[in-house]
Structure 1
Amino acid sequence: MEYDGSSVYDNAEFLQQYLLRRNRQDSPNNIIEKPVLLELMGDFTGKTVLDLGCWDGRFGYELLQQGCKYYEGVEGSSNMVHEARTRLDTTNSQIHHATIEGWNYPQHTYDIAISRLALHYVQDIQPTFGHIHHALVPGGEFIFSVQHPVLTSSMASAEISGKRSNWIVDEYFELGKRTEPWIGESVVKYHRTFEAYFQALKQAGFTIEDVRECSPRPELFEHQDEFKRRMRIPLFLMFRCVK
């Protein structure tokens, strides 16, 4: 069985295993991707934040604790929505159960839109970038991360169990659907090149202010062997854009 987008998180067994991996201290999401995202967000005190693919609301709770005025999340998984609403129950926030591409975006509403590792589940990214552009106030920022295209180009490396020491990059310029074996399931993602993301953002009206590949920072790693392994290939691609 193939799972499209966030539907895989409604598999209870998968969700349990995913959350164990995602929330562990040495998760690449926590020590490689997240520090760069926070750096690009800068001072969000008093800002209204839209989070596309908000998962379990954990990051939204952190943003609110650190000065975000209002947080709004969009999540396609009913299990994740339940987790997020429970976690954010008493905060100035709202969680919508909808897909990123299917949600009815309000216009000129948010100071910052973010998305962490969710947009590679969206088949047609161009309309979504357009919706996000319209949802931001003038001068609003859009900051997002995706799985790096060198990883999404070929799923051959993902079929190898255990810690990978070699990665296969193939069919890089063949855009489109990929099916990844992940935590015992088959999950559909969509491969786009660096160029494809860049051009889609420009066509939606964004100005690209910064691009990062989230170079690992040695001080954040408990074990230097793991740091050296993570220095071999980029895991994430991140853009900071302005309306």
Structure 2
Amino acid sequence: MKENKYDEASFFANYSVMPRSTGGLEAAGEWQEFRSLLPDLQGKRVLDLGCGFGWHCRYAREQGAASVLGIDLSANMLERARVMTDDPGIEYRRLAMEDAAFSAGQFDTVLSSLAIHYIEDFSSLCRQVEHCLKPGGAFVFSVEHPIFTALAAQDWHYGPEGEKQHWPVDSYHLEGLRQAHFLGHEVAKYHRTTATYINTLLESGFSLKRISELQPTPQMLEQNPAWQEETRRPMFLLLSAVKN
């Protein structure tokens, strides 16, 4: 299933006013952790899967990347990315991640931010990423954490006074489609376990370098008390791997 909610007017309007949409990378809570997983991008050829508004593409060029290709299924996303970008070293292309087919060793680094949980076949994607990376190339990505995606509701269990009592987890090992409620819409996402993410990478010819579940730091908690919720359950899973 290749659902394209971001080209639906009301959904895109809601997404466009999110803090990460208006404030960029610094407004994305997981950004500092994601950035720490990235390799040195100086002189690198970079592919961004699900590039959205192009924030990561522009960051890669700021870090000295030789070229960046950002692909996304959404025409709305790419139109906004092009408006925000003035750099001949960045190319945006309308293309679903599932349909991406690039030459062997075409890229030095492949990254993806909060997009891979929208695709059904992670194994096929890993094989294509492995194919298009040079030996030793990096694959860095973030997804919604499997504890967060296990139940389609993606919400707390509330007490009689509306207090958040706990985060329910059920059907964890039943991987597959979840019709999640996001930004006032039903959105197709795909749940898979942490083990599936890691083992699929290993089976596809990668070595795992680092895994993060984004535990809030004291500084994060001081700057934004809302991060206290993230100490109760992980919302993000971030992985860094290299092609063998």
- TM over 0.5, shorter chain: yes
> What amino acid is aligned across from residue 113 of structure 2 in structure 1?
R
Of 224-233 and 124-133, the range deviating more from structure 2: 224-233
**Residues 233/133 of structure 1: CA separation in 2 closer, same or farther (3 Å cut):** same
Q: Percent identity?
A: 32
Three-state SS of the structure 2 residue aligned to 1:129 is helix
**Residues 26/85 of structure 1: CA separation in 2 closer, same or farther (3 Å cut):** closer
Write the distance in 2 (CA, Å) between the matches of 1:136 and 1:27.
Answer: 25
CA contact (8 A) 1:144 1:238 kept: yes
Regions of 4+ moved over 4 Å: 24-29, 159-165, 221-224
Shift of the alpha carbon at 1:158? 3.5
CA contact (8 A) 1:61 1:87 kept: no
- Greater RCO (Cα-Cα under 8 Å, separation 6 or more): 1
Could you say which residue in structure 2 is the equivalent of 1:186? 186
Of 215-224 and 55-64, the range deviating more from structure 2: 215-224
Provide TM-score, normalisation by structure 1.
0.89
Shift of the alpha carbon at 1:28? 9.6
Q: Can you give the 5+ residue segments of structure 1 that lack an aligned partner in the other structure? A: none
Could you say which residue in structure 2 is the equivalent of 1:56? 53
Shift of the alpha carbon at 1:176? 0.5
Aligned-residue RMSD, C-alpha: 2.5
Could you say which residue in structure 2 is the equivalent of 1:39? 36
Aligned counterpart for 1:123 among listed residues 120, 124, 135: 120
Could you say which residue in structure 2 is the equivalent of 1:96? 93
Of 8-17 and 131-140, the range deviating more from structure 2: 8-17
Could you say which residue in structure 2 is the equivalent of 1:203? 203
Write the distance in 2 (CA, Å) between the matches of 1:26 and 1:57.
Answer: 9
| Pairing 1:236–2:236 present | yes
> What amino acid is aligned across from residue 23 of structure 1 in structure 2?
S
> What amino acid is aligned across from residue 190 of structure 2 in structure 1?
Y
Write the distance in 2 (CA, Å) between the matches of 1:144 and 1:15.
Answer: 23
Three-state SS of the structure 1 residue aligned to 2:129 is helix
Three-state SS of the structure 2 residue aligned to 1:219 is helix
